[in-house]
Structure 1
Amino acid sequence: MKSSKWTTLSRCLLLVLVILLVTAGVTHVTRSNLKAPADDLEEIYESGNPHVEALKVAEYEANLPQDNKGKRLLENEGRSKKPASNNQYSEVITNAQKSAMALLDTEAGWTKKRGDSLDGEGLVYTRTAEGDTVFKLEGNIDIDALTLYEDMAMKPQEVATWNTNVVEQRVLEKVDNSSDIVYSLSRKSIVSNRDFVFIRHWEKKDEWYLVSSVSVTHPSKPEDPNYVRAEQKPTVIRMKEIGPNKLRLEWLLHVDLNLSVPMMFVKSSLLQAMTTFLKDLRGHAAALLSHT
């Protein structure tokens, strides 16, 4: 009888020990996910599941240090700002357009990440430039290039009416006949709302209609404590005719969202945002044609 009790007690202790070892192992594996090599993390966070991304962002931020006010210390704190005095605007956008076009015209280095065809959801590519992940979208739209170009160039304040990624957009200053400074507020996704202040420039160059942009500062719109100010690096949308009432659109997006987590945590959401933009733009193009 006594031996039976000791046997039962031994088994219980062994079971508790096993449970403790398994629990410790699971905890170690869970924490080690955040310390995995960058390539492994990128594969994990390109799963395309926004719930997984949101959980990982929250988990990552929970392990960040806090300052004495309880705010997160941004990993890219102190990032550089674009020069933005009035006499620099033209030079800034000219250089930005050259940089964006050069990258867009570079064929090597791009990796396809999403999409089935140019007439379907479009094709989305990524590559590394200046240490950042840069995105490229290609797709066809059933409208003539001039009509869509003029609408995008001349009516930036209407973007929020058709672009589901944008909450608000308005012109802060007209720089010249083909340039202006715009404020834009993005919709909240797995990260909080981001706002931007950028200069735009539009022109026709050879067969392409161009709308280029890059972040600047402007006295009428300083950083708002309610939002995180993001930086739009040299970016360009270009379009050209490829047939009657049909155009080819290419969009180079280079953006610093001022994240407190690595870009790979939200990369698949940005890929999705690009295909959503193409869908929205096609719907807007159809609406434009219905009113002509």
Structure 2
Amino acid sequence: VNPCSALHFTISLSLWADISKAQPSREDHWFYQKQGRDAMDKALGMLQDRDGWKIEVKENNGDVICSKVLKGNKKVFRLEAMLDASVDELYDVLFRKVEEMHQWNPSIQKIRVLERVGPETVITHEVSAETAPGNLIGQRDFLSVRHSCKRQAKVYIGGAPVELEAFPPQSGFVRWVADGPTCLVIEQSEESPNRSRLTWLLNMDIKGWLPKSLVNQALPRAQLDFTKHLRRHLSAGGALRG
């Protein structure tokens, strides 16, 4: 069950002027908000189903990545990590200041909020960092709806791919497509309000030429790298700036 299902939204749209001068309709607002809530529903349902998970990686610092095979031989990954930051600090870094993520995560070139379709729902355009010469995948970009909800000592951030007529695939990039929703859950540690457990469901299909076996190795590696960069950012006091 989505913990945010009873949350009421007020619509406040801020459209990036470089994309389109046309104002999306009220129906568009409702559609993207619903898409964000539905993505969170589905992702949380996967996390709450504890059957079928197998450990893929267990790090010395306590980080654990598990995987599960869904119908169609699709593999999803669940990261669990303890971080030295409060729920509010992580919410600030991972949602409110999402456009600053490239400053501390070298795998991202930039993230831009294209539309705000509610106080807790945004559409973002993300560009991955440049790849090494000869890499067949190439530089990729993403269009996503991101929906968040804060309840007591927990924060939920769900995401899913979207399409915008005003923002088609960009020249020189491969548009990344995810088959299913993703979700972050940030929960206050029982030991300290200044520590939090991060649970990240990664549900993505690269849709490229790479063998599935290589993709299934790369995705958990990307989760561990992300957590490493996030820890470095938090230790430098990044969550407290601004």
Q: Give the TM-score, by structure 2 length.
A: 0.79
Aligned equivalent of 1:123: 64
In the alignment, structure 1 residue 236 sits paired with structure 2 residue 183: yes
- Tell me how large the CA RMSD over aligned residues is: 2.1
Instruction: Confirm or deny that 1:103 pairs with 2:46.
Output: yes
Which runs of no fewer than 5 residues in structure 2 stay unpaired? 1-26
Percent identity among equivalent residues?
26
Which letter maps to 2:38? Answer: N
In the alignment, is the contact (CA less than 8 A) between 1:229 and 1:258 conserved in 2? no
CA distance in 1, matches of 2:195, 2:53: 25
Q: CA deviation at 1:93?
A: 1.2
1:283 alignment partner in structure 2: 232
Cross-structure match for 1:31: none
Q: 2:200 aligns with which of 245, 251, 268?
A: 251
Structure ranking higher in helix proportion: 1
Specify the SS of the correspondent of 1:258: coil
**Structure 1: how far apart are the matches of 2:78 and 2:166?**
31
Corresponding residue pairs, total: 207
Work out whether residues 172 and 220 of structure 1, in 8 Å CA contact, stay in contact via their aligned partners in 2: no
Q: Of 152, 157, 160, which residue of structure 1 is paired with 2:99? A: 157
- Structure 1: gaps (5+ residues): 1-83
Question: Which residue pairs with 1:179 in the alignment?
Answer: 121
1:199 is aligned, of 126, 138, 145, to: 145
Looking at structure 2, the residues matched to 272 and 115 of structure 1 have their Cα atoms a distance apart, in angstroms, of 12
The aligned residue for residue 13 of structure 2 is none
Shift of 1:220: 3.2
What SS is found at the alignment partner of 2:68? Answer: strand
Look up the SS of the partner of 1:231 in the other structure: coil
Kindly provide the CA deviation profile for residues 83-130 of structure 1, in whole angstroms up to 9, marking residues without a partner as x. Answer: x9544112211111000001011111111111225xx16111111124
SS in 2 for 1:210: strand
Letter in 1 for 2:159: S
Deviation at 1:156, TM superposition (A): 1.1
| Contact residue 121 and residue 275 of structure 1 kept, 8 A | no
TM-score by length of structure 1 reads: 0.66
Q: Which residue of 2 aligns with 1:209?
A: 155
Please state whether the residue corresponding to 1:266 is helix, strand or coil: helix
Query: 1:13-24 residue pairs with structure 2 within 5 A?
Result: none
Separation in 2, partners of 1:248, 1:123? 12
Q: Secondary structure at the match of 1:143?
A: coil
